[in-house]
Chains A and B, each alone.
Chain A
Amino acid sequence: MAELTIRQAIQRGLEEALQNDPNVFIMGEDIGKYGGAYAVTSGFLEKYGPKRIKDTPISEATFIGAGVGAAAAGLRPVIEIMSISFSLVAFDQIVNMAANLRYMSGGQIKVPMVIRAPTGAGAQLAATHSQSFETWLAEVPGIKCVAPSTPADALGLLRSALSDGNTVIFAEPAQMYGVKGDVPDGRFTVPIGKASVQRSGGDVTLVSYGHGMRVLHSAAEDLAKRGIEAEVVDLRSLSPLDMDTIVASVHKTNRALTLDMARRTGGIMAEVAARLQEAASDWLDGPVARVGAEDVPWPYNRELEQEALPRVEDVLASLKKSYGI
C-alpha cells in the first residue's frame, strides 16, 4: 500500500506501460520538457527519450488521427489532449474513426489507443475551455470511456485501458489531480465497466463520477448527521455502464439521486436516471432525483461559475423534493 495522488497514480500507470510495452508511446502538446499542462508526464522525456515522448504541434485532428493510424498499424498510442474541450477539433477522428474502424472493417482493424484528457469546469477557464465531453463520448459505440475519482481507480483503470483492444477515453477530472489516496501494491487492475460503491448505506443511493464524487461525499456526511445513511456510487466507467451495481443499491435504498457536474441536459447521468426508471421503478419510492450543472455556457466570473456548478445544497434540496428526506 502506498499513498499517491491521482497525478502520481496516472504517472505510475504510464511509466509501467512505457517500460513493459515497446509499442506504447505518448503524443501531445507540451508533454516533453514541459511535462504536460497538468504535469503528468513530468520527467518522461528525460527518461524515455523523444521517440516515445513526442511533443506535437497544435494539431489535434492530426495527432489523434495519427494515433488512429499508428494504432491500426500495430502500436499502442497514448494521446494527451490538453483539455477535453479541445477534443472537438478532432471529433471526427475520435467519433467517426477510432470508434467505427473495427465495425466498418468487419473486425479486421483494431484501434487500441488511450486518449487522456483533463475535464471539467471550476477553474475560471470559461465557455470554450471548461467542458466535459466525456459525457458525449460515452454515448458512442466502439469506444470506451472512464473517469477515475481516486488514485487507486486511476491506476487500475489506466492499466485496463492500456491492455484493452479498443480506444479508451481516459477523462481526468482537472480539479482532482492532487487528491490523495491509498493505492495497493502489485499489479491489480480495475475492470472497465464496473462501478464502485465508495460508501455504503441503506437509505438513499447517490450516483455520480469524477468531480461529482466530492459533492456526493459531503452530501452523505450532511445526511448522516440527520441519521440518513447514503450509499455513494462512483460510475468510474461511463461506457460501458454498470447498471447492475446501481440497481442492486436501489433495491436496498429505494431512493436514488444522480449528479452530473456537466450540464444537466442529455448527459450520461440522464442516461443513468432513465435506465433506473426502466429497471428499478418498482423499487423506487419516487422519481429519480437529478442534479446537474446549469444549462448555460460556462461563465468566466468565479461567482457565476460556482453558481452554475452543482453544490451540496442542490443535492440536499433535490432529495427533499423527490423523497421528502
Chain B
Amino acid sequence: MQAWCFICFNGSVMPDTPHIHRSAAAASNPLAQEPLPKIGLSPEDLAQMYRTMVLSRTLDERIYQLNRGGKAAIFGSAQGHEAAQIGCIRGTDPSRDHYLIYYRQLTAMLALGTTPLELLLGFLAREGEPLSMARQFPLHGAHPRVDLFSFSNVVATQVPQAVGVALADRMRQEDRVTIVFFGDGAASQGDTHEGMNFAAIHKLPVVFFCENNRFAISVPLRKQMAVENISSRAAGYGFPGVTVDGTDMIAVYEAVSAAVARARAGQGPTLIEAMVYRLLPHTTDDDHTRYLTKEEIDLMHREGDPIPKAAKLLRDRGLLSAAEEQTVKAEAQRTVNEATEKAEAAPYPPVEEMYRHVYSNSSGPSGKGSQ
C-alpha cells in the first residue's frame, strides 16, 4: 500500500522506508546564505523580482474577481508558481532568448515585460489586446515586443516547437537560447518525450523548464509517473536534469543560469524541474476541495507560498522593511486598479476582425511585422 505524503504531496511513500520530503532540499538551500555578488544578483535585482511577484499575485487576484463577476472567462492561476517563474526569467536574457510558455504563466509574462493592461485586455477580450487581438485564450499568442509565443491549449505542443525554434537558431548560427515551460502533466505527453530526444540528438540550446505542481488538474504525481522526479528522465535522453525548490527564486535562478550557460556554450539542453504548489484550483472552473482535504490545502498555503518566503529572504538581507513591504503592495494594487479601469473601458474588437489573419498574404518569412 502506498501512502501519500501531505508535506510534499509525494505519492511514493512506502511504509518502513525513510522518506525525504521533496521540499526539504529547499529548506537547506546553501545559496540562501551566500553573499549577493556570489549569487550574481544585485539588491535591486532581488527587490525587482519581489515586486514582480507581488504584482503578479495582485493581478492574479484581480483576474479571479473579474471571472467571478462574469467579466473574464476561464483562468489558470499562477499563485504558488511566482518564484519559479521569476527566478527562471532572471536566469535568461530577454533581450535575445526565446520563450515558449504555457497558460499558467502570469508572472513569467510580467517578468518578460508584458504589462498588466495588455494582460487584462486579453482576459476581457478587448480591442488592442496585443498577443492575439482577442482571438486566443488570455496569456496565449505572440508578443510584439517580447520574443515569446504560446499557443498550447493542447498541452505539450510547445515542446517540439521550442526544439524547432532552437534548430532555426542553430542553422542561422545565432547565439540565442530557447526556454520552454510546461507542467508535470505535460511531461507525460509524447510531444515532450520526443522533443527532448530530438533536442538531445542535435545538442540544441534549449532549457526545458517544468513547473511541477504535483497535479495535472486532479491527477496526482503518483498516477502520472512511477519515478520520483521528472528530472531523472533527462538521463535517458542524454542531458542533465535537476530538481529545484520552485518556491525559492534564488535556487531557480541559479539552476536556470547554469542551464542557459551550458546551452550558450554549445553543450546542449538541460531539464529543470521546479517543485511548486498550485495554491488555487486548476482553473476558475475547478474546485480543488473535490480532491484535496482542507488540511492539505492549509498546509500547502503555509509551506508553499513563495511570496512570504521571498519577503523573508529580502528582510533577512536588510532589503525590505515593513513599510517598504506595504508600499510594494500598495503600488501593485494601484497599477492593477488603473489597468483594470482602462481595460474595462476598451471596446470589443469589431466582428469583421474574425475574418482577418486566417491566412498570410505575404510570401516572406515569419517575423515581427510580417503580414
Q: Do A and B bind each other?
A: yes
- Does A101 lie at the interface of the complex (its beta carbon under 8 Å from any beta carbon of B)? no
- In the complex, chain B residues whose CB is within 8 Å of the CB of A307: 351, 354
A296 touches B218 (CB 8 A): no
- Does A134 lie at the interface of the complex (its beta carbon under 8 Å from any beta carbon of B)? no
- In the complex, chain A residues whose CB is within 8 Å of the CB of B358: 295-297
Least CB distance from A42 to B in Å reads: 9
- In the complex, chain B residues whose CB is within 8 Å of the CB of A37: 217
Of all chain B residues, which has the CB nearest A305? B354
Of all chain B residues, which has the CB nearest A298? B135
- Does B186 lie at the interface of the complex (its beta carbon under 8 Å from any beta carbon of A)? yes
- Does B137 lie at the interface of the complex (its beta carbon under 8 Å from any beta carbon of A)? yes
Question: B57-65, B148-156, B234-242, B327-335: which lies at the A interface?
Answer: B148-156
A299 touches B225 (CB 8 A): no
Contact with B along A116-127 (1 / 0, CB 8 A): 000000001111
Q: Which residue of the partner chain, among A29, A30, A125, A299, contacts B153 with CB atoms under 8 Å?
A: A125
Contact with A along B70-83 (1 / 0, CB 8 A): 00011000000000
Q: Which residue of the partner chain, among B134, B152, B156, B224, contacts A299 with CB atoms under 8 Å?
A: B134
A58 touches B291 (CB 8 A): no
Question: A85-93, A151-159, A196-204: which lies at the B interface?
Answer: A85-93
- Does B228 lie at the interface of the complex (its beta carbon under 8 Å from any beta carbon of A)? no
A33 touches B153 (CB 8 A): no
Q: How large is the interface on A (under 10, 10 to 19, 20 to 34, 35 or more residues)?
A: 35 or more
Query: How many Å lie between the Cα of A88 and that of B135 in the bound state?
Result: 21
A128 touches B135 (CB 8 A): no
- Does B303 lie at the interface of the complex (its beta carbon under 8 Å from any beta carbon of A)? no
- Does A106 lie at the interface of the complex (its beta carbon under 8 Å from any beta carbon of B)? no
Query: How many Å lie between the Cα of A37 and that of B217 in the bound state?
Result: 9
Tally of A-B residue pairs with Cβ under 8 A? 115
- Does B353 lie at the interface of the complex (its beta carbon under 8 Å from any beta carbon of A)? yes
A302 touches B218 (CB 8 A): no
Query: How many Å lie between the Cα of A60 and that of B348 in the bound state?
Result: 36
- In the complex, chain B residues whose CB is within 8 Å of the CB of A299: 134-135, 353-354
B189 touches A59 (CB 8 A): yes
- In the complex, chain A residues whose CB is within 8 Å of the CB of B351: 303-304, 307
B154 touches A126 (CB 8 A): no
Query: How many Å lie between the Cα of A57 and that of B154 in the bound state?
Result: 14
Of all chain A residues, which has the CB nearest B125? A301
Least CB distance from B281 to A in Å reads: 11
Of all chain B residues, which has the CB nearest A302? B125
- Does B185 lie at the interface of the complex (its beta carbon under 8 Å from any beta carbon of A)? yes
A59 touches B137 (CB 8 A): no
- Does A323 lie at the interface of the complex (its beta carbon under 8 Å from any beta carbon of B)? no
A308 touches B354 (CB 8 A): yes
B135 touches A126 (CB 8 A): yes
Q: When A124-B73, A294-B354, A301-B134 are in contact, do A58 and B349 touch as well, CB less than 8 Å?
A: no
Of all chain A residues, which has the CB nearest B127? A301
Query: How many Å lie between the Cα of A302 and that of B223 in the bound state?
Result: 36
A129 touches B153 (CB 8 A): yes
A57 touches B225 (CB 8 A): yes
> How many residues of chain B have a CB within 8 Å of chain A?
38
- In the complex, chain A residues whose CB is within 8 Å of the CB of B132: 300
Of all chain A residues, which has the CB nearest B292? A33
Of all chain A residues, which has the CB nearest B356? A296
- Does A283 lie at the interface of the complex (its beta carbon under 8 Å from any beta carbon of B)? no
A300 touches B219 (CB 8 A): no
A57 touches B218 (CB 8 A): no
- Does B229 lie at the interface of the complex (its beta carbon under 8 Å from any beta carbon of A)? no
Could you say which of A33, A296, A301 has the most chain B C-beta atoms within 10 Å of its C-beta? A301
- In the complex, chain B residues whose CB is within 8 Å of the CB of A296: 354-355, 358
- In the complex, chain A residues whose CB is within 8 Å of the CB of B73: 124, 300, 302
Could you say which of A35, A124, A297, A299 has the most chain B C-beta atoms within 10 Å of its C-beta? A299
A300 touches B189 (CB 8 A): no
- In the complex, chain A residues whose CB is within 8 Å of the CB of B125: 124, 300-302
- In the complex, chain B residues whose CB is within 8 Å of the CB of A29: 216-217, 219
- In the complex, chain B residues whose CB is within 8 Å of the CB of A126: 135-137, 140, 153
Q: When A85-B154, A89-B189 are in contact, do A57 and B216 touch as well, CB less than 8 Å?
A: yes
- Does A109 lie at the interface of the complex (its beta carbon under 8 Å from any beta carbon of B)? no
Query: How many Å lie between the Cα of A287 and that of B151 in the bound state?
Result: 40
- In the complex, chain A residues whose CB is within 8 Å of the CB of B152: 128
- In the complex, chain A residues whose CB is within 8 Å of the CB of B151: 128
- In the complex, chain A residues whose CB is within 8 Å of the CB of B140: 126
Query: How many Å lie between the Cα of A34 and that of B289 in the bound state?
Result: 10
- In the complex, chain B residues whose CB is within 8 Å of the CB of A85: 153-154
Least CB distance from B51 to A in Å reads: 30
B223 touches A57 (CB 8 A): yes
- Does B188 lie at the interface of the complex (its beta carbon under 8 Å from any beta carbon of A)? yes
Which 10 residue pairs across A and B have the least CB separation, nearest first?
A57-B188, A34-B218, A301-B125, A128-B153, A124-B73, A301-B134, A33-B291, A129-B153, A57-B224, A58-B185
- Please list the residues of chain A having a beta carbon within 8 angstroms of any beta carbon in chain B: 29-30, 32-35, 37, 55-62, 85-86, 88-89, 124-129, 294-297, 299-304, 307-308
Known: A129-B154, A300-B73, A300-B134. 15 other contacts (CB 8 A): A29-B219, A30-B218, A34-B217, A58-B186, A58-B224, A61-B190, A125-B153, A127-B136, A127-B153, A128-B151, A294-B354, A301-B349, A304-B134, A307-B354, A308-B354
30 contacts between A and B (CB under 8 A): A29-B216, A30-B219, A33-B218, A34-B217, A34-B218, A34-B291, A55-B219, A58-B185, A58-B224, A59-B188, A59-B190, A60-B189, A61-B190, A62-B190, A85-B153, A86-B154, A126-B135, A126-B136, A127-B136, A128-B152, A128-B153, A129-B137, A129-B154, A297-B358, A300-B73, A300-B132, A300-B135, A300-B136, A302-B125, A304-B134
